[in-house]
Structure 1
Amino acid sequence: MTFVMGPALLFCPADRPERFPKAAQRADAVIVDLEDAVAPADKQRARGAILAQLGAAGDGPELDPSRTIIRINPAGTDEFEKDLHCLAHTPYRTVMLAKAESAAQLEALADYHVIALCETAVGVLNAPAIAAAPNVVALMWGAEDLLASLSGTSSRADDGGYRAVALHARSAVLLAARAFGKEAVDAVYVNIPDLDGLALEAADAAASGFGSKACIHPTQAPVVRGAYAPSEADVAAATELLQVAAVAGSGVFQHGGKMIDGPILKHAEATIRRAGIHS
């Protein structure tokens, strides 16, 4: 099964199966959340909801396994073991491991494609080793849990921008993921009404190399998709640049008053790829 990552990943509480179809319609992939979005007393009911919607006529469509991620509880907990027991009876084989902190934790998930959520100090520091695990397909970072693990109070300053330590973690996880050829997922934007701020942050994520951004509300998904979609002008400029490069041959050349070399051409190729995803 080929998993479809896409730019907009939408969290959906596992104990709210009536929301599954809308989430699947609005986003590129759905993250069915068994961890933070579900109260401890409701976790078993949430697992039952996942099982109940599988092929249940009249109770809502089964989620497409190629576009569904199940966020499971941290490794080493009783809830983690219960989550795996539930998933063994489903077709879902892509999981997001909450609070991933070591490559050893991935061994229990050998039968799954894993998105490792690095959201503690230990997890961020061990991101390269986690990314190197063969069953890891992507890394994601989490801002608020990270600051909580540092005994901090907020990941963002008064102007809405990330604090320096959060930006460091964001960069560290992105670099680790890409160093090992894995996807990178940017953290959620918790200020739901601030769609302009979300658009700016998603555009920065796309330009920085994150393949996806996670969302916590359906209204955020189209904003993220729009931020990842190159403009017609960007596509035209990238196309022209690659055509000029083909004529110029190898080496460095000038175009539009700028020096063009290999890395700049790779930027243009990335723009064309993103345009293909959204066409």
Structure 2
Amino acid sequence: MDTATSWTMPGPGWLFCPADRPERYAKAAAAADVVILDLEDAVSPDAKAGARQSIVDDPQDVERTVVRVNAATTDEFADDLAALEKTPYRRVMLAKTETRADVDKLDGHEVIALVESPLGAVNASQIAAAENVVGFMWGSEDLTAGLGGRRSRLAEGSYHPIVTQVRGSVLLAAKAHGCFALDSVFMDIGDLDALAAETDDAVNIGFDAKVAIHPKQVAVIRDAYAPTDEQVAWAEGLLAAAEGERGVFTYEGQMVDGPVFKQAQQILRRAEN
């Protein structure tokens, strides 16, 4: 079943922020389109209770904030949900989503399923069919650990083929069920050129946004998603030409059919952000 949500994504630059660092909330919000307040990996076990209290005490813009909760199979999950009930947040990223039953525990919330295990990867389509799943993200490092591997990337920096396979399967599951898809984080904060190249690939293949782990990565992500002046001019010209055409036609030497028309519309949508 396709998922319906009234939420419009504010932009493609998402940023993780440790939930136990409320002094960073406003700075993260100023840097990013969407902030993910993280109750999971970014917070040590002894700081989790304080992190939960922080998301209650320091509310942020509901339309631009997501809370990442601990996996549904952990002892921390129930406490995360109890804290959420004291906040206005209803859009949740579920760490290590593995089954539809995990998502069912978040009834009443819009869920971004974070697939980062072998079981979650093989169940992605089943998870996507849950009515409250609105989006997907995937993660490479936990996935690689779950496979018993040592490195998610090859020596030259590209992902190992099995990791790329999971990336693609999560994207397919999301799009097949009307969900948005977030590309995974890029861990080498200093290598902005490689981040730009990876984000370009995410844009080209259909990911709706990419998640950052440092504020300086957000500008690179936004730049990659922003269409060039030439792309905007092409899209505007194509859509204008289409008004006087019926069915398939030719524009600047290229055959234009339904998929090409949709690509032009997508370029203009991104230009508006």
Normalising TM by the smaller chain, what interval?
over 0.9
Q: Are residues 1:65 and 2:62 paired?
A: yes
Deviation (angstroms), 1:111: 1.1
- The 5 A counterparts of 1:74-85 are 74-85=71-82
Gaps of 5+ in 2: 1-5
1:31 aligns with 2:36: yes
Letter in 1 for 2:73: G
- For residues 131 and 57 of structure 2, what CA distance do their matches in structure 1 show? 31
2:171 to 155, 169, 174: 174
Query: Could you give the per-residue CA deviations for residues 57-98 of structure 1, whole angstroms, max 9, x where no partner exists?
Result: xxxxx3101111110000021100110011111111111000
Question: Which one has more relative contact order, counting CA pairs under 8 Å at least 6 apart?
Answer: 2
Aligned pair in 2 of structure 1 residues 245, 4: CA closer, same or farther (>3 Å)? closer
Q: What is the one-letter code of the residue matched to 1:273?
A: R
Could you tell me which residue of structure 1 aligns to residue 22 of structure 2? 17
Report sequence identity in percent: 50
Assess, with a 3 A threshold, how the Cα gap between structure 1 residues 226 and 4 changes in structure 2: closer, same or farther. Answer: same
Letter matched to residue 264 of structure 1: V
SS in 2 for 1:247: coil
The reply to whether residue 152 of structure 1 matches residue 159 of structure 2 is: no
Aligned length: 268
**Corresponding residue number in structure 2 for 1:134:** 131
Asked whether 1:108 is paired with 2:113, we answer no
Contact 1:124–1:172 (Cα < 8 Å) also in 2? yes
Indicate yes or no: 2:50 matched with 1:45.
Answer: yes
Aligned equivalent of 1:244: 241
TM-score between both structures, scaled by the size of structure 1: 0.93
Give deviations 1:9-38, integer Å, cap 9, x for gaps.
Answer: 100001111110010001001000000001
What SS class does the counterpart of residue 248 from structure 1 fall into? coil
CA contact (8 A) 1:34 1:46 kept: yes
Report Cα offsets for 1:212-250 as digits up to 9, x if no partner: 111000001111111101011100011111222222221
State the TM-score, normalizing by the size of structure 2: 0.95
Aligned to 2:259: 263
Q: CA deviation at 1:6?
A: 2.1
- Which residue type is aligned with residue 134 of structure 2? V
Gaps of 5+ in 1: 54-61
Q: CA RMSD in A?
A: 1.2
Q: Which letter does structure 2 place at the counterpart of 1:259?
A: M
| Contact 1:8–1:213 (8 Å) recurs in 2 | yes
Displaced runs of 4 or more, over 3 A: 1-5
Partner of 2:214: helix, strand, or coil? coil
Q: 1:147 is paired with a residue of what secondary structure?
A: helix
- Paired residues of 1:71 and 1:96 also in contact (CA < 8 A): yes
Which residue number in structure 1 is paired with residue 197 of structure 2? 200
Q: Show CA shifts across 1:162-183 (max 9, x none).
A: 1101111111000000000000
